[in-house]
Structure formats: structure tokens, C-alpha cells
Chain A
Amino acid sequence: MTDLPAQERIRLETRKLSVDYGNNRGVRDVSLEFKDRRVTALIGPSGCGKTTFLRALNRMHDLNRNARVTGSAHLDGADIYAPGVDPVLIRRRIGMVFQKPTPFPTMSIFDNVVAGLKLVGIRDRSRLDEVAERSLRQAALWDEVSDRLGSPAARLSGGQQQRLSIARALAVEPDVLLMDEPTSSLDPQSTKRIEDLLQVLKNDVTIIIVTHNMQQAARISDVTAFFLNGDVIEAGSTDLMFTNPQDSRTEEYVTGRFG
């Protein structure tokens, strides 16, 4: 394995990012850096704001009238919340995989994978074929579905559907992939496949993953950020966070004394 020293470039960065729901503050003044081609895990007990924060990173709160985002988030230096920035273009570069698999139920496996391309007008069949195969291979699903790309996506198992969701997100070649507890509804085998997958994917994309599972965070991430009640208590290299945390609350959480 070759380690890439060029990984120190900052791909995404938040500065005093806060999200309010009505009068409830979801996350408060979060300033974090996400380095290129690293896996960052967001951990913390339920309701600590980690998912709320994740969804702010590709402007998924835009559709919620009650949600208000303040502060800024910079993708390659440009604020994604600046006036005039089209959230659609931001989401093309910052993809997202959700807690539950979300295949488009009326579409075939193939159409699901290339949905992001087809629906913006790319019709070239050979290009779509190529992208579908590449994305499905990246998501470690190709071998299982290559002989039935035309069959409905709804017929796949839960683990396969989640890998299909990942393939679909990868097909548009995002720079950043946000993952909101992508394995929480999956069995251990499917979970392992997706964790293995992340280790390969991080060669190409910056990954930010929310997880409830601390062993998972320890296994897969380079950097970990610990959220509690809407604040980031501590963030740093995963090794240090789990072996020698600076804050006593982090230590209590990662050693399983609460949460």
C-alpha cells in the first residue's frame, strides 16, 4: 500500500456552522476541516446533532422551512451557502447515502445507477453502460447483478439496495460522499462489505460518515469528531481519539460509559 502524502489538502471546511430548528438549536458553531481523500467519522449519542450537521454539508436543510443554517461551509474554498450558489450544483459534487437504502422503486437496477446522469440529459448509451459498470464495481455489487441490470431495484436485498444507493451516488463522480449511518439497517456481512468498500473508495473521494457504532468508527476512519448536545467536543486523528482523548467526556463516550 502506498500512502499518499498529498492528502493534506482541505476539501471541505465549516466555519462556525450552526443549524436551528425553530427555537431549538441543532448544532452550534461547528468548525471542522475535512481533508481530501480521508474518512472522517462523526460520532456521538442520539440527538447530538451529527446527522443535522451532515445534512448541512450538502444543503439538505434547504427544503425544511423550520431549519435555519448560519455560519459557512467551504468546498474547495468557496462558501456553499453564499448568495447565488445553486444547491443543485453543490449536491452534484457532494453526494449522500442515507440510513435506509433508497433505491427508486419503479426503476431498474441500471436506471437507478445512472439516474443522476440520465436525468440531466446524458443519453449516450455506451457512456451510461460504462458508468453503470464502473459504479457497480466500485460499490462491490457488479458481480451480483451484472446479469440482471434490467430487473427492478426493489427486488434486491437490503444490503444490495444500500450498495446500489452507494453506486448511484458514485455514478455522478462526487468529490465528497456524506454517509448517514449507512450500515445501521444492515446485517453484519453487508456491513463488512460496505466497510471494506469505504477503504477502497477513499482513494477517490472524501468521505464523511455518521455512525452510532464506535467500533466501526475506529475501524474505518482516519479522523473522528465527537458531538455532544450540538457541540463538537473534540476532533482529531481516530487513533488518538480512541486511545488518548483530551476531553473526559470523549473518553467516557468512547469507552462506553454513556451514550
Chain B
Amino acid sequence: MNLARRYIRDRIVLAGIVLASLVVLVPLLIVIWYVISQGVSALNVDFFTRDLGSPTRAQLGQPTGLAQAILGTVFIDVTALLLALPVGIGAGIMMAEYREHPLNGLVRTLNDTMNGMPAILKGMLIFAIVVKPSGTFSGFAGALALFVVMLPIIARATEGALTMVPWSIREAGLALGLPRWRVILATVIPVARPGLVTGALIAFARAAGEAAPLLLTSLGNNFLPRNPWNPLEYLTRAADTLPQRIYSLAVSPYRDWHAMGWAAGIVLIGLVIVVFFIGRLLTRRRE
């Protein structure tokens, strides 16, 4: 093999890599461009400050918006994340750190099964064990469904991040006479923190886009509660979320609502981007 041929091979492979990267990016850009072009006309101040109300509002040109869905998404998704983080990280610690524990294999199998389970089944599960007995759809039931969506993702990401931490750090901690749980919390988790945050972000983004489990649990709601800043008002009764609202708007027979659905898509993408940005700030190493 002479140098010229190696050079050409290198170029061909590089061209292939660039092409593959573009193939990954293009659909994303098309989606973003299409959502923005379809929805931007419906974006205005009212969209963020008013609730949806009845279809006649849009038809008569009265102020209408999706404030109830935006706030509902924030409160329900954050509640789900707060529930899923400790449990998911705990399960991840079990999978990564306690490999000799008798429950390890069971937790791993259940986690993989749960990760592969369609989200709508998780909605049906919460419908059966929470919505039906409590007699009402509620934001809290929605948060529980999203909790089940987030859980396996966080657990897997935690396991992966902990496994990346060199074993020598654990031994160094144990050799100081620290109990194992201390070693994990004080020396292993801090090293794995960027990986844990990334896992939480991916879980959050994934759950933020789920409509199916929410249709069966939080149902949807066209109106803002009396006190729009009180999370309990969303968690205790049927509440709106963006993905489920996008679905309802899309299947509605009103042209104005279709545009609002696209606009809701813009807001949802923006929300996920903001959350990722905050996550990156959290993992930036202080130098």
C-alpha cells in the first residue's frame, strides 16, 4: 500500500462520516423548520398568557392560548422527574455497584422490560391502579405515568455512568475505612455526575414528548385553574400537557387550532432545549 492510496482511502472514509452526520442532522432540521414555519403565525403574547377555552374563541378572533398546557407540562414533568430521580438513581446504583446482590439480576431484567414497554401501556397501568380507584383523571396520575417512562432510562444511564468510574476510586475509599454506601455517595457519584445529569435530561426529554400515557391519566383540560401558579391545582384534577394537547388540536376540525398545535410543537422543542441548556450548566466542571 503506497501513501497516495492510503490518503485516498482516508478521504473516502472521512467523506462517508461527514455524509452520515448530515443524514442524522437533516431530518432534525427539517422537523424544526417545518414545525416553526407552520406554527409561528399562532405565536403571540396571548399564546403564553391565556388558556385555550372553547373553539369559538379562536374562530371569533378572541384571545386564546395554551398557558394551561405549558404550565401543566412544567408542573407534571417536574413532579415526575423529582419522583423518578431518587428511585432511578437508586436502581442504577444497585445494578452498577452491587453486582453480587441477589436482587441485581432481577432489577436489571425488570428495568430492561420496563424500558421496552410501550408508553401507552404505562398509561393504562396508571389508569387502572390510580385513575380508576381515585375516580378522577389528574395531573398526579399523569406524573406517575411519566415517572414510569423516566425510571428505566435514568436507571440505565446511572448504571452506565457509574460503571465508567474507575474501580480504584472505590478501593481507595474502602481502604480509608469508609462504609460502602459512603464510598458510593461521596466518591463515586460526584465523578459520575455529568453522566447522571445527561441521563436525567434524556429521560425528561423523552417523557416531555409522550402523549399516549397522558391521554389516559391527566386527560387534558382547556382551562387554567383558578390559581395558575399552584402546582396542586394541576396535580389534583385533569390537567393539560403539551404533547397530549398537540394531539387533541391536530385531530380537531378547526384550522386555527391546527396552527396552535404546530405552535405548541415549537414551545415543546424550546422547553426541551432550555432544559438541556440548564443541564449542561449544572455539569460544567468548576475550574
The residues of A with any CB-CB pair to B shorter than 8 Å are 58, 60, 63, 65, 88-93, 95-98, 100, 102, 104-107, 115-116, 119-120, 165, 168-169, 172
Contact indicator A91/B177 (Cβ below 8 Å): yes
Contact indicator B177/A88 (Cβ below 8 Å): yes
Chain B interface residue count: which class? 20 to 34
Contacts A95-B176, A119-B182 given; does A102 touch B171 at CB 8 Å: yes
Contacts A88-B178, A88-B179, A92-B177 given; does A106 touch B190 at CB 8 Å: yes
What is the CB-to-nearest-CB distance from A148 to chain B, in angstroms, rounded to a whole number? Answer: 14
A-B contact pairs, 9 of them (CB 8 A): A58-B175, A65-B100, A88-B178, A92-B176, A95-B175, A98-B171, A107-B187, A168-B176, A169-B175
Q: Chain B residues near A116: list those with CB within 8 A.
A: 176-178
Contacts A106-B190, A115-B186 given; does A172 touch B168 at CB 8 Å: no
Does residue B172 face the partner (Cβ distance < 8 Å to A)? Answer: yes
Does residue B43 face the partner (Cβ distance < 8 Å to A)? Answer: no
Does residue B169 face the partner (Cβ distance < 8 Å to A)? Answer: yes
Does residue B191 face the partner (Cβ distance < 8 Å to A)? Answer: yes
The residues of B with any CB-CB pair to A shorter than 8 Å are 99-100, 168-180, 182, 186-187, 190-191, 193
> Can you name the residue of chain B whose Cβ is closest to the Cβ of A90?
B177
What is the CB-to-nearest-CB distance from B279 to chain A, in angstroms, rounded to a whole number? Answer: 18
Q: Chain B residues near A65: list those with CB within 8 A.
A: 99-100
Give the 9 A-B residue pairs with the shortest CB-CB distance, closest first: A92-B177, A96-B175, A102-B172, A116-B176, A106-B190, A91-B177, A65-B100, A102-B168, A104-B187
From A63, A98, A106, A119, B172 is in contact (CB under 8 Å) with A98
Q: Which of B176, B182, B191, B193 has the most CB of A within 10 A?
A: B176
> Can you name the residue of chain A whose Cβ is closest to the Cβ of B179?
A88
Contacts A60-B171, A98-B168, A119-B186 given; does A105 touch B177 at CB 8 Å: no
- Told that A91-B177, A102-B172 touch, could you supply 13 new A-B pairs with CB distance under 8 A? A63-B180, A65-B100, A88-B177, A91-B174, A91-B175, A97-B175, A102-B169, A104-B173, A104-B191, A115-B186, A120-B177, A168-B176, A172-B177
What is the CB-to-nearest-CB distance from B190 to chain A, in angstroms, rounded to a whole number? Answer: 4
What is the CB-to-nearest-CB distance from B287 to chain A, in angstroms, rounded to a whole number? Answer: 8
Q: Chain B residues near A95: list those with CB within 8 A.
A: 175-177
Contact indicator A105/B182 (Cβ below 8 Å): no
Q: Chain B residues near A90: list those with CB within 8 A.
A: 177
What is the CB-to-nearest-CB distance from B96 to chain A, in angstroms, rounded to a whole number? Answer: 13
Contacts A65-B100, A119-B186 given; does A169 touch B176 at CB 8 Å: yes
Contact indicator B176/A115 (Cβ below 8 Å): yes
What is the CB-to-nearest-CB distance from A51 to chain B, in angstroms, rounded to a whole number? Answer: 12
